């Protein structure tokens, strides 16, 4: 690892973020799962760029993310990708206000994905995403209005529950 690695600075930026002003136990459980999941994928993607691929840090994160793959299929979590696409069609303003990682990864019309646990926008690109992208993505997840929308009964949580109820009706 280089001392001046710009991606190491991105990790430090992520790790300085805090949820201390929020009660995460009152976050909608599915939205909270995907919030943490996305941050874990961002963390892993940036860590691969900042550290040796086979560093113990990256090994631990890969093991954690492998476990989470199965967790995505439990309960209402299975509806999350479809919910994002539903928002795109039904409530474009709400869709556009979501973090770009969610809108890219879960939009059926986007090539972006988590590939080998890394966040990838263009699967044919040979260059890593610039560090500036990750700063913006991190800020979107910690934007106060977005975090407030994750609480049970809040705007995004309410929309998700309504969507799941319509699927189960």
What percent of the chain has a predicted confidence (pLDDT) above 90? 88
User: 81-117 burial, b if ≥16 CB within 10 A, otherwise e?
Assistant: bebbebbbeeeeeebebbbebbbbbbbeeeebebeeb
Q: Is the pLDDT of residue 145 over 80?
A: yes
In a domain, 6, yes or no: no
Tally of structural domains, the chain:
1
In a domain, 12, yes or no: no
Q: Is the pLDDT of residue 87 over 50?
A: yes
In a domain, 128, yes or no: yes
In a domain, 3, yes or no: no
Residue pLDDT, tens place only, 11-30: 999 999 999 999 999 999 99
In a domain, 11, yes or no: no
In a domain, 83, yes or no: yes
Contact 7, 131 (CB under 8 A): yes
SS3 assignment, position 40: helix
Q: What is the pLDDT of residue 1?
A: 42
How large is the average pLDDT for residues 112-133? Answer: 93
Q: Which domain holds residue 52?
A: 24-168
In a domain, 14, yes or no: no
């Amino acid at each position: 690892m280089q001392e001046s690695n710009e991606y190491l600075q991105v990790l430090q930026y992520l790790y300085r973020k805090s949820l201390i002003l929020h009660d995460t136990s009152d976050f909608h459980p599915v939205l909270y799962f995907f919030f943490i999941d996305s941050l874990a994928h961002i963390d892993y993607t940036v860590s691969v760029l900042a550290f040796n691929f086979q560093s113990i840090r990256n090994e631990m994160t890969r093991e954690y993310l492998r476990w989470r793959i199965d967790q995505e299929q439990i309960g209402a979590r299975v509806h999350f990708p479809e919910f994002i696409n539903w928002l795109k069609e039904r409530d474009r303003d709400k869709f556009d206000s979501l973090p770009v990682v969610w809108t890219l990864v879960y939009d059926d019309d986007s090539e972006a994905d988590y590939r080998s646990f890394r966040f990838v926008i263009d699967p044919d690109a040979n260059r890593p995403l610039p560090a500036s992208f990750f700063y913006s993505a991190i800020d979107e997840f910690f934007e106060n209005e977005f975090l407030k929308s994750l609480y049970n009964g809040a705007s995004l949580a309410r929309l998700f529950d309504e969507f799941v109820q319509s699927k189960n009706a």
